[in-house]
């Protein structure tokens, strides 16, 4: 079965308030089967435009990634991100 990924491209607009999002989203997403494989770090844009920060969270399946994103627990915490950052979030199916 192909793995699923939540991929986020984020520019934080309120770094102090954004810390709460990071502190709270991590245990929720890990508890729902996620594993952070990219979280910030160095990046170099080679083509096009993007936001400043990149996050990739791996899940056992595409359905598990969708369920984690849509979970009430995560959506409650995501409200913090909506107020403290500009973001593009994708749920993507990996290859087998």
Task: Kindly report, residue by residue over 9-21, the tens digit of the pLDDT.
Answer: 999 999 999 999 9
The answer to whether residues 86 and 11 touch, using CB atoms and an 8 Å cutoff, is: yes
pLDDT of 96? 79
pLDDT of 1? 87
Q: What is the mean pLDDT of the chain?
A: 96
In which band, very low, low, confident or very high, does the pLDDT at 6 lie, cut at 50, 70 and 90? Answer: very high
Torsion 46-51-57-63 (CA) sign: negative
pLDDT of 60? 97
The answer to whether residues 90 and 2 touch, using CB atoms and an 8 Å cutoff, is: no
Tokens, residue 42: 């160095």
Q: Which residue would you say has higher pLDDT here, 40 or 36? A: 36
Closest residue by Cα to residue 91 from 76, 73, 60, 69? 69
The answer to whether residues 12 and 19 touch, using CB atoms and an 8 Å cutoff, is: no
The pLDDT tens digits of the residues spanning 38-71 come to: 998 899 999 999 999 999 999 999 999 999 999 9
The CATH code that applies to domain 4-43+50-93 is 3.30.70.100
**For the chain, which residues make up each domain, given as ranges?**
4-43+50-93
Q: What is the value of pTM for the model shown?
A: 0.93
């Amino acid at each position: 079965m192909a793995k699923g990924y939540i991929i986020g491209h984020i520019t934080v607009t309120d770094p102090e308030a954004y810390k709460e999002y990071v502190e709270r989203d991590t245990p929720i997403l890990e508890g729902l089967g996620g594993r952070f494989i990219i979280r910030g770090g160095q990046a170099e844009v080679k083509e096009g435009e993007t936001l400043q920060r990149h996050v990739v969270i791996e899940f056992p399946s595409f359905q598990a990634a969708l369920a984690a994103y849509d979970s009430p627990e995560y959506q409650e915490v995501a409200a913090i991100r909506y107020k403290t950052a500009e973001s593009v979030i994708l749920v993507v199916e990996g290859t087998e």
